[in-house]
């Protein structure tokens, strides 16, 4: 039953991530435009940040939503920490922005509160899915 429940939640999360992706994309786009139009002594810094936001937006549209959903379930540390860390990649930042959305967090916290022992069986289940996926790859 656990396996089916997690699979159903992954499917629900994928659909939700699809909608949230466009919200995050619009937010990145508006932030980028503000930074590009900025003038003043720190204009060079802001243009570099705008370039980084453009790269994040392009990755966002290419992101594999199933993998992001699986990572959302498996992660133990809060995703907001990734946004603060200076050594995180653009890919990690985009995934953190997606997973950090309130609707996504609501589903994850609801699942974790309903299954207090999720730390024991969810990572094993996801690992088994990955092994099976690799085994059946042509």
Inside any domain, residue 138 = no
Report the first-to-last Cα separation within the chain, whole angstroms: 29
Kindly tell me if the per-residue pLDDT of 138 is higher than 70. Answer: no
Mean pLDDT of 94-112: 90
Rounded to whole angstroms, the Cα distance separating 65 from 77 reads 20
Q: Output 77 or 102, whichever has higher pLDDT.
A: 102
Inside any domain, residue 137 = no
Q: Quick check: 118 and 35 in contact, CB under 8 A?
A: no
Kindly tell me if the per-residue pLDDT of 1 is higher than 70. Answer: no
From residue 126, how far is each of 24, 25, 48, 117 by CA, in Å?
Answer: 26, 28, 37, 15
Average pLDDT, the chain: 87
Number of domains in the chain: 1
Inside any domain, residue 105 = yes
- Out of 53-67, 77-91, 98-112, pick the least confident: 77-91
Inside any domain, residue 116 = yes
pTM confidence score: 0.82
Inside any domain, residue 124 = yes
Rounded to whole angstroms, the Cα distance separating 19 from 98 reads 10
Confidence of residue 123 (pLDDT cuts 50, 70, 90): confident
3-state secondary structure of 136: coil
Kindly tell me if the per-residue pLDDT of 137 is higher than 80. Answer: no
Inside any domain, residue 73 = yes
Range of the domain at 72: 2-132
């Amino acid at each position: 039953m656990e396996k089916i429940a997690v699979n159903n939640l992954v499917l629900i999360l994928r659909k939700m991530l699809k909608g949230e992706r466009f919200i995050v994309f619009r937010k990145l786009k508006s932030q980028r435009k503000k930074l590009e139009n900025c003038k003043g002594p720190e204009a060079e810094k802001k243009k570099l940040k705008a370039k980084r936001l453009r790269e994040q937006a392009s990755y966002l549209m290419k992101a594999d939503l199933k993998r992001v959903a699986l990572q959302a379930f498996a992660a133990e540390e809060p995703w907001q920490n990734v946004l603060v860390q200076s050594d995180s990649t653009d890919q990690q930042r985009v995934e953190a922005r997606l997973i950090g959305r309130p609707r996504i967090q609501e589903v994850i916290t609801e699942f974790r509160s309903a299954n207090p022992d999720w730390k024991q069986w969810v990572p094993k289940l996801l690992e088994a899915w990955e092994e099976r996926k690799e085994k059946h790859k042509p």
